[in-house]
Amino acid sequence: MNIVVLGAGNLAWHLSEEFQKKGQNILQIYNRTEKKAEALSKILQCDFTSKLENINRNADLYILCISDKSIAEIANSLPIENNLVVHTSGAVHQDLIPQDRRGVFYPLQTFSKGKEIDFKGIPFCVEANHENDKKTLIKLAKTLSISVHEISSEQRKTLHLAAVFANNFSNYMYSISEEILSVDNISFDILKPLILETANKIIYHSPKESQTGPAIRDDQTSIDTHLNDLNNGNYYDIYKMLTEKLRAENKK
Ligand SMILES: NC(=O)c1ccc[n+]([C@@H]2O[C@H](COP(=O)([O-])OP(=O)(O)OC[C@H]3O[C@@H](n4cnc5c(N)ncnc54)[C@H](OP(=O)(O)O)[C@@H]3O)[C@@H](O)[C@H]2O)c1
């Protein structure tokens, strides 16, 4: 398949390299900042441009790997009428793409440049305005992963909300832990086995069943000690609110 990738950020790097590994032909990289388009195109040995008017018009697929807020604007400015245009966002409705042949190719995973990732198990959420295009996107996703799902824009919105809790908020909790440990010169490394075991456990058990800790045990002494240590500082309110929520959940 001939593909033009728009964007040269975290996802564009990973996805375009993986497409290429799986035998797809990356025709061109477009990116607003030319240097970044050039850097990625060097790795892929393909053409690049920073000008939408110079976009290659012969691709089978135009895949927007650009910030959510710029998807509508860039799709509207794309000089493409009859080819398939998709975005890769968890949060943006398919219909923000004006082209009739539009769709979504959303990998439900976190990508950062320079951090290798195994695509095999990444859930790909696919949607398209036309049945044939959906089939094409499903086929393409199956070359990358064994986990491919037809998900509507409405379902994707719900999925994205759930993912913010599961991923972004839990990662923020790791940051808080790291900061708390640093006060006593303890390395965050010591918590990693605990974090990994917590994540592994929910593969076989529901998160609710797996919950442990002072709030669930109704261990008021530990809770008071922790709140006292936090001493109305930055994380006092978060600790108090989450403890109350967990206790209420436990009583249901
Ligand atoms: N990274 C992830 O974990 C992940 C996971 C799933 C889905 N996604 C989706 O993938 C898409 C890209 O995310 P990312 O994490 O790769 O973002 P990123 O690393 O922050 O890169 C953002 C890209 O968008 C371009 N851009 C920003 N504003 C623009 C504008 N006004 N006009 C044209 N281009 C613009 C940037 O171009 P410049 O280089 O010129 O700034 C850059 O290529 C998003 O829709 C996101 O929801 C990301």
**Residues 217-230: pLDDT tens digits?**
999 999 999 999 99
Percent of the chain with pLDDT over 70: 100
Structure confidence at residue 233 (pLDDT): 82
Q: Distance, CA 132 to ligand 1 centroid (Å)?
A: 27
Shortest-distance Cα residue to atom 46 of ligand 1 = 89
Domain residue extents for the chain: 2-151, 156-251
> How many Å lie between the centroid of ligand 1 and the Cα of residue 102?
19
Q: Which residue out of 6, 49, 63, 67 has the highest number of ligand 1 atoms within 8 Å of its CB and is therefore the one to mutate? A: 67
Sign of CA dihedral 215, 216, 218, 222: negative
* CB distance 145 to ligand 1 below 6 Å: no
Rounded CA-CA distance 43/15 in Å is: 13
Q: Which residue has the higher pLDDT, 33 or 251?
A: 33
CA 170, distance to chain mean position in Å, is 14
CA angle 110, 147, 62 (to 5 degrees): 65
pLDDT at 94 (0 to 100)? 97
pLDDT of residue 118: 97
Is ligand 1 within 6 A of the CB of residue 28?
no
CATH architecture of 156-251: Orthogonal Bundle (1.10)
* Alpha carbons 195 and 220: distance in angstroms, whole number: 24
Q: H helices of the chain, where?
A: 10-21, 34-44, 71-77, 131-144, 153-163, 170-183, 192-204, 207-210, 214-217, 220-230, 236-251
Same CATH fold assignment for domains 2-151 and 156-251: no
Cβ atoms of 147 and 123 within 8 Å: the answer is yes
Q: Is pLDDT of 232 > 80?
A: no
> For 63, what's the count of Cα atoms within 13 Å in the CB-facing half-sphere?
33
The CB of 236 under 6 Å from ligand 1? The reply is: no
Confidence of residue 245 (pLDDT cuts 50, 70, 90): very high
CA distance 155 to 150: 10
CATH code of domain 2-151: 3.40.50.720
Q: Is 68 near ligand 1, meaning CB less than 6 Å away?
A: yes
Pairing of the two strands 124-128 and 102-107: antiparallel
pLDDT digits (tens, 9 = 90+) for 71-113: 999 999 999 989 999 999 999 999 999 999 999 999 999 899 9
User: Could you tell me the sign of the dihedral formed by the alpha carbons of 186, 187, 193, 196, in that order?
Assistant: positive
